[in-house]
Amino acid sequence: MATRKKSHSRNVELKNHALGNAATEYPQTYSPKVLESFDNKHPKNDAWTTFVCTEFTSLCPKTGQPDFARIYINYIADKKMVESKSLKLYLFSFRNHGDFHEDCVQKICNDLGKLMNPRYIEVIGEFTPRGGIAIYPFASHASTSEKYQTLKEIRFMEYAPGKYTMPLSRVY
């Protein structure tokens, strides 16, 4: 089993891939099993974590042509957080996967929700236009807490392309 040494001398086990000098194995098909989590060291605090994948690709299920997007993942962790290299490998696994834009975004939201069980998560796709049409799907999930259910409702009702893909300090 590979381990990744943190600067504060704590080791985190990584089950599915090695970091550092070992060769990285890239999945050739959609693969949620590569996702890994680690313990949130501050589970009593609410904090946003945002990932931006600037080079997401998938395949159109109708034409087999590549689709390109920028994927934004915003979440508030509870007990678990997603490990970033495993997330990169997971997102890369869509490269040869044929699914509609909306389905890719919903799968990412569902898979990360299942992995971490966050207080709140949203996934936004900004897909490059094809045939003159750009598609920006939005998917979200919240814990059963009233606070996060309210957050989900507000962000869903106020969703507009670009609104939640910029730093949150410029949103409100």
Report the topology of domain 31-170: GTP Cyclohydrolase I, domain 2 (3.30.1130)
Q: Give yes or no: 103 in active site.
A: no
Q: Give yes or no: 67 in active site.
A: yes
pLDDT tens digits, residue range 54-69?
Answer: 999 999 999 999 999 9
Write down the catalytic residue from 39, 46, 53, 60: 60
Domain ranges of the chain: 31-170
Q: Which among 105, 130, 120, 124 has a CA at the least distance from the CA of 162?
A: 124
CA of 145: how far to CAs of 118, 148, 156, in Å?
11, 6, 16
pLDDT tens digits, residue range 89-117?
Answer: 999 999 999 999 999 999 999 999 999 99
Write down the catalytic residue from 39, 46, 67, 111: 67
3-state helix, strand, coil in the chain (%, to 5): 25, 35, 40
Question: H helices within 34-100, ranges in order?
Answer: 84-92
Q: Which among 67, 3, 88 has a CA at the least distance from the CA of 38?
A: 3
